[in-house]
Amino acid sequence: MDFRHEWKIEINTADLLALRSRLRALMEPDAHAVNGRYQIRSLYFDTPTDRALREKIDGVNRREKFRIRYYNGDTARLSLEKKSKLNGLCNKQGVRISFEQARALSWGNAPPLSPDAPPLLRELCYKMKNEGLRPKVVVDYVREPFVYRPGNVRITFDHGIRTGLRCTDFLDPALVTIPAGDAPVLMEVKWDAFLPDVIRDAIQLPGRRAAAFSKYAQCRIYG
């Protein structure tokens, strides 16, 4: 399992404008972005005791969370993802799933598994049965992504974070979401073995430091 470095830095709109201008001169836009951005909708899973949420808040060194998501309203391309953290490093595994599988999962049911079902889907279904994992909250936001090939650097700006409260039918295009409190703009910086100096210098902002912000935790503020 390959782990990457990750910084999360809370910024404001003025910071976003300045950083966006700098990075456009240095980095490439993500090939999947439409006019430099895309809309992400995710559905996060947790146990009845909110283990993933509590481990995030408590800063547990080794933790994981599952989510299913799609981009730009396209429910024909759905993915199941597992994000793991260890010693401050992160790893993300992902696999495509069908609409029927995503619908069953969003209703809290493990879908029927064929003999060739992906291991990641099998793992989630096992943990739904044995650990009580269930869908908890829908998270919506806009992402502006930039990539830089040396170091496999990816910088994203996430804003407009919204929560589906207790509704987990994330395949419903009419699902109503509301702003997730006073959520900041979030800059995420990810890289492999090294972060090039030109990028490190470009993202420096006075008074801004890496923090442990979680969109999932932010969207659970109402329950």
Residue 96 lies in a domain: yes
Residue 189 lies in a domain: yes
Residue 142 lies in a domain: yes
Q: From CA 221, how far away is CA 223, in angstroms rounded?
A: 6
- Predicted pLDDT at 16: 96
Provide the residue range defining the domain that includes 84. 4-218
- 60 with 77: CB under 8 angstroms? no
Which H/E stretch holds residue 79? strand 78-86
The predicted model scores a pTM of 0.95
Residue 70 lies in a domain: yes
Domain of 114, CATH number, reads 3.20.100.30
**CA atoms within a 13 Å half-sphere pointing along the CA-CB vector of 205:** 19
Residue 149 lies in a domain: yes
Residue 223 lies in a domain: no
CA torsion through residues 110, 113, 119, 121, sign: negative
pLDDT confidence tier of residue 38, bands split at 50, 70 and 90: very high
Look at residues 57, 70, 61, 125 and name the one whose alpha carbon lies nearest to residue 90: 61
**CA atoms within a 13 Å half-sphere pointing along the CA-CB vector of 203:** 24
Residue 60 lies in a domain: yes
Reported as a single tens digit per residue, the pLDDT across 98-144 is 999 999 999 999 999 999 999 999 999 999 999 999 999 999 999 99
pLDDT at 31 over 80: yes
Number of domains in the chain: 1
Q: Which residues pair with 143 in a beta bridge?
A: 38, 158
